[in-house]
Chain A
Amino acid sequence: MAAQSAARGTGLRLNGKAVVMTLYLVFLLLPIYWLLNMSLKTNSEILNVFSLWPRDLTFANYRTILTDPSWYMGYVNSLIYVVMNTVISLTVALPAAYAFSRYSFMGDKHLFFWLLTNRMAPPAVFALPFFQLYSSVGLFDTHIAVALAHCLFNVPLAVWILEGFMRGVPKEIDETAYIDGYGFGRFFIRIFMPLIASGIGVAAFFCFMFSWVELLLSRTLTSVNAKPIAATMTRTVSASGLDWGVLAAAGVLTIVPGALVIYFVRNYIAKGFALGRV
C-alpha cells in the first residue's frame, strides 16, 4: 500500500517535472521560432498577413545575406575577432591560472580581485577611451583591436574558470613530474594541459560566447573593414527601417554558430557554468 502510493507519488512528480520543463522550453523557443518563421516569409506577407507559418515559403532573405559581401563579411569579421580573442585569452590565462591555483605570492589575492573587477567594468565606461586608445596606436577598425578589447572581460573569466578546474588536479602530479625531470614548459604542455582539457574547452566556450554576443565595444571600434555582423544589423535597421525579413534571417544566422558550439560542449556546460567549482 505504502509502496504503491510512493510509486504513484514519483509518477506524478515526474509528470509534473515534464510539464514544467516543457512550459519553460516553449517559453524559450517561442521567440526564436517566430524569428525563424519571419525569416522565411516575404516582406509583404510579414506586414499584411498574420500567419503562424510561412504561406509563401521563400529563401530570398537568406540569399540576400549570403550573396551580398556587406552582409556576409560581417559574419566573417565577427568569427575572425572571436577566434583571435579566444586564442589570446587562453594563451595568457593558462599560466596565470596555474600560478593562482598552485602558488601563493605577494599580492595574489588582491591581483585576483583586481582581475575580477575588470569583468565587472561596464563596457559603456570603456567605449570612448578604447576608441581613442586604439585610434592613437593605429589599430582602429582592425580585428585585433576588437579581440584585444574583449580581453578586458574574457581574460579574467578564463583565469577564473581555469583556476577552478586546476584546483581539482592534485599537486602530487606536478611534483612527480618535476622529480622525473620534466621542465616547467614540457610538463605544462605534455602533462598538465591534457589533464584539464575539459576546463580549457569550457573556458574557450565562454570566451567565444561573450566575444560573440558583445556589441557595444565591437561596434565602437570598427567602421568598415572589421565591422561585426551585429553592427551590420543595427545599422541596416536604422538606415532602411523596415526590411524585417532580411533582419530576421540575419538574426537566425547569428544563432547558428552558437548552437554548433553548444552542441560540442554540451556535456561540460553545467560544470563550466559553475566555473569548475562543483
Chain B
Amino acid sequence: MEKTVNQKAWFLVIPMLILVAFSAVIPLMTVVNYSVQDTFGNNQFFWAGLEWFDEMLHSDRMWDALGRQIIFSAIILAIEVPLGIFVALNMPKKGFWSSLCLVLMALPLLVPWNVVGTIWQIFGRVDIGLLGHTLEAMGIDYNYTSDVLDAWVTVIVMDVWHWTSLVALLAYAGLQSIPDAYYQAAKIDQASRWKVFRYIELPKMQGVLMIAILLRFMDSFMIYTEPFVVTGGGPGNATTFLSIDLVKMAIGQFDLGPAAAFSIMYFLVILLISWVFYTVMTNLDKREGK
C-alpha cells in the first residue's frame, strides 16, 4: 500500500513514545551510567571510563556464558524449527480437530515460565517424577541436578516442549494461506510430496518462518526463568546462560559496574543479530509486494 507522507502522524505516535521512553530509555541510561562509573557505596560515583568493558571483555566468565548461550540457542533453533514445520504439516486443516489441536498446542505457551520450570523439575525427578522414574526403571542413570549432560538434555527438552508449538502455529498460519489451486496444479504436474513442500509450501511459509526464527532466537537468547528454576544454573555453571549470570552479578553480588557493562554488550549482540533477521524479513515483505 502506498503511504501518504504526513508529518502530523507523529502526534499519534507520541503517547506510545512517552510510555516506552519512560520504561525503556530511562532504565537503559541508568545502565549506561553505571557501566562507566565506579562506586564505593554512599552514592558516591567516580568516572571509570571503559574499565568495566575492558574487564568484562577479558573475563572468562562472560565468554563461557556467551558460548553456552550460543550453543543453547543454536540447538533450540535446530530442533524447534524443523519439528514445528513437521507438526504444522501434519495438523488437521479444519473442523473440530483443528480447533482442538490449536487449543492444546497453545497451552504450554500460556503457562507462566517459572511454572514451566516447576513442571519439569517435578517431572524429571527420579523419586517423584514420571520421566525420571521411568528412565530409572529402564536402567538409565539420569539425574539433572548432578550430571551436566542430563541437565542440558532436560533444559532443551523443556524448551522444545514449551516453544515448538509457537513455530508450529506460525507455520500452520502460513500453510492456511496457500490457495487450493496451487496444490491442484502440483497434482497435475505430478509433483512429489517433497517437491510440493520445497516449491510451494516452504516459499509460502518463508515470511512467518522468519518471524518464528526471530522470536525464538530473541527469547532463547534471553532465557532466564525456566533453567533457573530447574537447574539453578548448575551443576556448577553448566547451564548458567547469559541472563542467569547477569542477574547473579547484578542482584546477587551487586557488582553494578561490570554487570552494566555486561548488559550493554549483551544487548548489542542481540540487537545486531536481530537487525540482520529484521532486514531479511522486511526485504522479503517488499519482494512479495506487501
- Known contacts A95-B12, A274-B173; decide if A28 and B278 are in contact (CB<8 Å): no
- Report the Cα distance A171→B123, complex, angstroms: 52
Whether, in the assembled complex, B176 has its beta carbon less than 8 Å from a beta carbon of chain A, the answer is: yes
**Could you tell me the distance between the alpha carbons of A156 and B263 in the complex, rounded to whole angstroms?**
21
Contact A17 B177 (CB under 8 A): no
- Tell me the residues in window 227-273 of chain A with beta carbons closer than 8 Å to chain B beta carbons: 229-230, 233-234, 237, 244, 247-248, 251, 254-255, 257-259, 261-263, 266-267, 269-271, 273
Are the CB atoms of B115 and A92 closer together than 8 Å?
no
Q: Are B113 and A220 in contact (CB under 8 A)?
A: no
Per the 8 Å Cβ criterion, residues 27-65 of A in contact with B are 27-32, 34-35, 38, 46-47, 50, 52
Chain A residues in 8 Å Cβ range of B131: 31
A196 at interface (Cβ–Cβ under 8 A)? no
Contact (A102, B127) CB under 8 Å given A113-B278, A251-B118: no
Chain A residues closer than 8 Å to B208, beta-carbon distance: 273-274, 277-278
CB distance from B77 to the nearest CB of A (A): 16
B73 within 8 A of A: no
Is A216 a contact partner of B247 (Cβ separation < 8 A)?
Answer: yes
Binds A, one of B17-25, B55-63, B143-151: B17-25
Q: How far is the CA of A263 from the CA of B9 in the complex (A)?
A: 36
Tell me which residues across on chain A come within 8 A of B172, comparing CB atoms: 270
Contact with A along B127-161 (1 / 0, CB 8 A): 11111010000000000000000000000000001
In the assembled complex, A79 has its CB within 8 A of some CB on chain B = no
Check B184 for interface membership: any CB of A closer than 8 A: no
Supply 25 A–B pairs (Cβ within 8 Å), ascending by A: A21-B91, A21-B101, A25-B101, A28-B104, A34-B119, A46-B128, A52-B130, A92-B15, A96-B13, A103-B3, A105-B7, A113-B278, A120-B218, A122-B222, A133-B30, A213-B111, A215-B225, A254-B111, A259-B103, A263-B103, A266-B103, A270-B176, A274-B173, A277-B208, A277-B211
